């Protein structure tokens, strides 16, 4: 199914290019999507800090019977932090590889490039959203 979706996007992209799609508009869409994902990154950082704080207070949570097994909770916290870190790493990799200026490329080549980059940013957004949702669900168990 994913392969079919990719083929459809590529076909649509190629048709748009042939119809004179303006790569600058597509590039701006990529940059706008990037800005939104950067906000997700800020939420991810906040959640990582909350998880760190929670991890240091597990012993006290056992004493007041909020949790019963610190080992299990530390594993959950570590896994959630890993998800958030993975999303951050993927975003950093994308930013290092992204080229906003495609000097020497045709308008059609630029449009195809930016459409592909837009898909990558949308994928990053999904990755962040999943990690944020999981971490917030876990953290919500400890809010009073």
Q: What is the pLDDT along the chain (144 residues), one digit of tens a residue?
A: 455 444 444 445 554 444 446 899 999 999 999 999 999 999 999 999 999 999 888 777 776 777 777 788 899 999 999 999 999 999 999 999 999 988 899 999 999 999 999 999 999 999 999 999 999 999 998 875
How many Å is the maximal CA-CA distance in the chain?
67
Q: How many CB atoms lie within 10 A of CB 103?
A: 6
- 142 touches 54 (CB < 8 A): yes
Query: Residue 18: what are its φ and ψ, rounded to 5°?
Result: -65, -25
Q: Looking at residue 8, what is its pLDDT?
A: 41
Residue 137: what pLDDT?
A: 96
pLDDT at 63: 67
pTM for the structure as a whole: 0.78
Which of 76, 78, 130, 124 has the alpha carbon at shortest distance from 98? 124
Two tokens at 125? 């957004």
- pLDDT at position 7: 45
What is the number of structural domains in the chain? Answer: 1
Range of the domain at 132: 2-140
> CB–CB of 137/47 below 8 Å?
no
The number of beta carbons lying within 10 Å of the beta carbon of residue 17 is 19
């Amino acid at each position: 199914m994913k392969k079919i979706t990719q083929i459809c996007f590529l076909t649509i992209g190629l048709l748009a290019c042939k119809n004179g799609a303006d790569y600058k508009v597509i590039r701006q869409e990529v940059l706008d999507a990037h800005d939104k994902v950067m906000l997700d990154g800020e939420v991810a950082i906040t959640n990582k800090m909350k998880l760190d704080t929670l991890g240091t207070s597990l012993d006290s949570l056992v004493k007041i019977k909020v949790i019963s097994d610190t080992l299990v909770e530390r594993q959950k916290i570590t896994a959630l932090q890993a998800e958030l870190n993975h999303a951050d790493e993927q975003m950093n990799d994308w930013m290092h590889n992204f080229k906003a200026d495609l000097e020497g490329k045709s308008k059609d080549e630029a449009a195809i490039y930016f459409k592909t980059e837009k898909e990558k940013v949308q994928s990053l957004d999904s990755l962040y959203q999943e990690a944020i949702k999981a971490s917030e669900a876990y953290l919500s168990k400890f809010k009073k």
